[in-house]
A = this chain, B = another copy of it.
């Protein structure tokens, strides 16, 4: 930290990479909340350098020196680097260089942490990561500090705002996936290329970080099951409601014997669980741990100001000299493949509308040891394909190992009376 020549005070001097939404949010907060920040940090926090490829003239950067060269942020006149450029390659180089020099760096970039975090976490320089997962929700510090004396059993997170917005819109307004996605793009909640979000990759990267902190295991996407939301229909959402559930896109990380499950997929959540009511672009994480029991955190998962709030929390801790290091990778963290995990399942089976079909389906499930807990079969829902009447048989099953369910679905699909793809969505139960 430098002594400010004018005031004679200590100042925490920030070098910021990027000048997008979060970076602008950080500049706004440093200005607007300056008094509170100075008091909390014990010194003012000032952005003295900004490196970005381009700079919109309307953005007020105060007295900061602007440069297009990221390396300028490693100069001696910068105390802490803040990485807000996103992407992997340049960010990785910047973070590596900063840490090599022993310069603290704060990042909101889950992609680079998910791919290279293992090299960085246990070093001696400070790496601030609160903003990398779930925006303004203090889930990383809750895992590394508040729950540090707990053995965490599992966590379930709604950690992709785009998916949650789309599923909520489909559920509440009956919009199709395509329409809800278009609306999300219009509102800036989804990228022009939405695959990263709706296919579950973004959530999987965040889950890999949450799991690492929760279980002291290495960060990896290997053996993580990843499924997006494009297969969920408005019909599924409606039937789920009727059965007492909502459908949300979740990340699940769970201790299972000596191994860990990490999986990202749409899931039915009981309407009586608070997390099932988390709607729109909000994020939420529920953690089950052996001392605290259950805790739930809900808040904005993205956006300039909320994400900047998390960056700023890290910067204030660094100024105070109390940023707490996380230790990860002490446990091996072998993953349990998805076929070995156990869930209840929602099934939607397009079945010929004639006597005996329900019995055939029931037999196959029974032979695989799968019970039926709730079934909906509505005569009013009869449809025609090629002149043949069929009806969706919808149910929630009892708990079953995924491999048994795969096997049962194979056998169901080969039935002459089953008239198309069986849709299957896992149920997320919190009393695992």
Contacts and interface: CB of A to CB of B under 8 A. Distances in A.
A37 B151 CA distance: 9
A305 B327 contact: no
A324 interface: yes
Interface string A316-350: 11001011110100100000000000000000000
Contact of A148 (B150, B298, B313, B330): B313
Interface of A: 25, 29, 32-33, 36-37, 39-42, 130, 136-138, 141-142, 144-151, 216, 274, 277-278, 289-300, 303, 305-306, 308-310, 312-313, 315-317, 320, 322-325, 327, 330
B291 A29 contact: yes
A286 B91 CA distance: 34
Contacts of A290: 32-33, 305
A98 to B, nearest CB: 20
B148 A312 contact: yes
Contacts of A137: 295
B330 A305 contact: no
A278 to B, nearest CB: 7
B146 A310 contact: yes
A216 B132 CA distance: 28
Copies in the complex: 2
A294 B137 CA distance: 9
B309 A320 contact: no
Given A37-B149, A141-B146, A294 B299 contact: yes
Given A29-B291, A327-B39, A315 B138 contact: no
Given A36-B151, A39-B327, A317-B145, A138 B136 contact: no
Contacts of A40: 144, 148-149, 216, 327
Contact of A145 (B289, B292, B295, B313): B313
Contacts of A151: 32-33, 36
Nearest to A33: B151
Nearest to A300: B293
Contacts of A330: 39
Contacts of A36: 148-151, 216
A330 B306 CA distance: 25
Contact of A293 (B37, B306, B317, B320): B306
Contacts of A305: 290-293
A28 to B, nearest CB: 9
Nearest to A316: B148
12 contacts: A29-B149, A39-B216, A41-B148, A130-B146, A136-B293, A138-B138, A141-B145, A291-B306, A293-B303, A295-B300, A296-B298, A297-B297
Nearest to A130: B146
B32 A145 contact: no
Contacts of A32: 151, 290
Given A138-B295, A147-B309, 6 more contacts: A33-B151, A36-B150, A36-B216, A146-B313, A291-B305, A293-B306
Q: A40, A317, A323: which has the most chain B beta carbons within 10 Å?
A: A40
